[in-house]
Structure 1
């Protein structure tokens, strides 16, 4: 088991990867630098190997797929994940790693949004999207993570080995944040300086398609982790619609004793039934969710036991 493992997912970062590896080797000389190449065509893997990194490959395209591979293959007391585009300063790595190693923090978030991100990033829709996502996650899940989508994070062994990677692409950061909140992990923020990509380095993010994926991920995870709130909201909306359409029918019946809009009455009944079904579906799923939380706590005990066994072998 490594003491500190620096994990660098890469796709065509040949212009910057050498500097990233060199910087982190300088700041964290005891760390092992792992570069996971995701089908790069610009020599990223070769450049990283020459710079002294341990180079591995993930051939299934997508950042989420790369992170799944990294988390499965690498064992360490502290994991530091950083993008290979040289937008995150290595100088913050020591502080982030120390929080994991000395304070038992499960996830340290490299907070760009509280420092230079909005000045350095030249894509206004990215700035707006980051703010919206941060507000949405912290509102729906009752937390105060300062930067939901940052690619600069430090993790504990138990976070990495209990995190189910479901997303395939860049929405993986959102999934990490929600997992940490939901599983009551110890999360801290470290303000970092952000710098935009150097000239010639191209972002792989698509503002609109990736933004839609992130929003879809938030909705999906809200349904998964807060089922009663999600289906309860759906139930309330359906019941309001049913009552809204039923009132005119009832007024007409009260005045004339007749129901001329009989199809509307039938639809109101079905919508009301759908509302009741949605509410009870939320109750059932909430019970299942609580059982999953209990199982997860037992999984944490098993994870800790495996860590102790690995440390004894070392």
Structure 2
């Protein structure tokens, strides 16, 4: 972790963009430059999982030159969810008001940051959504679109939620939201990490808003998505959905018994 202190607060809410990295040497300097241009007031935390391609060293160099950039060096590759959880802990400990999830490969366009941050004025979680009016994807083959849309649809059906892009990973959280959803209980590490956080947010009554974005497939480096990650998400979401439906049935049964007792008395 860098030994620099976060930049001095400004009139804006203190905002931290968390960028997990593993072998993103081709992209890191480019994406940080775009973030700094698009939203100069925000700060950036690079959470690097000991990338063998030198990503961590590049992050250190950028942090030494810019007080808005900070680095967390992690011992090994532990998954996207674990990197974000570590980043959330760091950001909360350092007093940020808003914390943002964003990919390092440019699929989440930094130029959308001001629009997403602005919507936090009337929301507790803002999701950059591919599947609301005005959103979309670029350069994805049909099978990737089917997997993504199918995953979001399955999640909505199983959990009974209205959020259209349940798996999207471009998100802005209020610190109060993260403090209120039980981050210490989150066990998901892969693709379903985003579903887990959304589900916890909705269950605790926080306000979720979707803002249209265009998701652009990476041009450089390799995707971290795998068949195992997708299957983990499918299984976990199904189990959460079964538990949710069982709880609904139990509550309905208890209410019916309660009403029957009232009619008898």
Counterparts in 2 of 1:96-175, with a 5 A limit? 96-100=116-120, 102-103=121-122, 105-114=123-132, 115-117=135-137, 119-122=138-141, 124-163=142-181, 164=183, 165-175=186-196
Q: Out of 148, 171, 189, which is 2:210 matched to?
A: 189
Partner of 1:214: 233
Partner of 2:260: none
CA distance in 1, matches of 2:73, 2:202: 30
Partner of 1:89: 109
- Find the structure with the greater CA-based Rg: 1
SS, match of residue 201 in structure 1: coil
CA RMSD in angstroms, aligned pairs only: 2.2
Aligned residues: 228
Structure 2 residues without counterparts, runs of 5 or longer: 1-5, 64-68, 256-265
Q: Out of 48, 58, 61, which is 1:37 matched to?
A: 48
CA distance in 2, matches of 1:166, 1:159: 18
SS, match of residue 194 in structure 1: strand
Residues 107-133 of structure 1, C-alpha deviations (whole Å, 9 max, x = no match): 11111234331x4213x3331121122
Structure 1 residues without counterparts, runs of 5 or longer: 233-281, 288-314
Partner of 1:71: 88
Q: TM-score, normalised by structure 1?
A: 0.67
The structure with higher relative contact order (CA 8 Å, sep 6+) is 2
CA distance in 2, matches of 1:196, 1:51: 25
Q: Out of 189, 194, 197, which is 1:176 matched to?
A: 197
